[in-house]
Amino acid sequence: MTTALRRLLAGFTLFLTEFAITLALGTLGVVAFLALGREVFDQDAATFDAAAFRWARQLLGAERQPWVESITFLASRNFISAAACLLINWFLLVRRHRWYSLLVPVVALGSISLNLVLKQLYQRPRPLLPLTSASGLSFPSGHAMISASFYGLLVYLVWTHVRRPALRYALVTGLVALILLIGLTRVYLRVHYATDVLAGFAAGAAWLVVAIPLLKQLEIVVKKRFKTELQSAEKQPV
């Protein structure tokens, strides 16, 4: 077997593997969201949500509300919008990676927009007696969905580009813990049911799994079609 053929087979095998993993994760996220959406108004879900309220209160304690609100703020629209702008500027001006600068707003703004659409479809009111102010509808949780997609994107970037294994695993673990903690704070503050949060995680992860491969393929197509123009643009002084 020639070297060229081996490389072709290796590339094809890698593509099939990535496609299979992407399809499986995306399908799992969609199925989980639809299942939660179907069961959310059943009595079993109500019992689960009530137990989750008690468990979150016992876990975080009754006197930690300021600390909890500072964590939940990390997935607010204002914070995510500011963080996304900083990340876009980093990729545009420092790293000179135009496609990542496109990926960030697609993931962030797409997740926010999709969440608003889903809320209008399900029309679930928020829980009674919240511990902090919250407006709008409840299902799925916007904070959970946005944190799963935006911080999930950071997980992807860290896993792809951080070469030191110890640092890579530490950062990924920290980001995943932050995503879960943000979801927990929404239940603790009684601004979302636990089923809202789980559905938000599923929808955010599904959106991320769809957005990254699509933009990756778009990058490949555009680079092939406009290879000369892009090389000329990169050579020009900034």
The one catalytic residue in 143, 203, 204, 209 is 143
Neighbours of 106 (CB within 10 A): 17
User: Is-catalytic flag, 161?
Assistant: no
Check: CB of residue 152 under 8 Å from CB of residue 217.
no
- CA neighbor of 186 nearest in space, from 44, 54, 68: 68
- CA neighbor of 180 nearest in space, from 195, 210, 201: 201
The one catalytic residue in 192, 198, 203, 208 is 192
* Distances from the Cα of 160 to the Cα of 46, 174, 197, 207, angstroms: 40, 16, 27, 19
- Between CA 118 and CA 25 the distance in angstroms is 20
- Between CA 29 and CA 81 the distance in angstroms is 24
Check: CB of residue 215 under 8 Å from CB of residue 103.
yes
- CA neighbor of 129 nearest in space, from 48, 42, 50: 50
- Between CA 192 and CA 185 the distance in angstroms is 9
User: Is-catalytic flag, 192?
Assistant: yes
- The DSSP line for 219-235 is HHHHHHHTHHHHHHHHH
Just list the catalytic residues: 143, 192
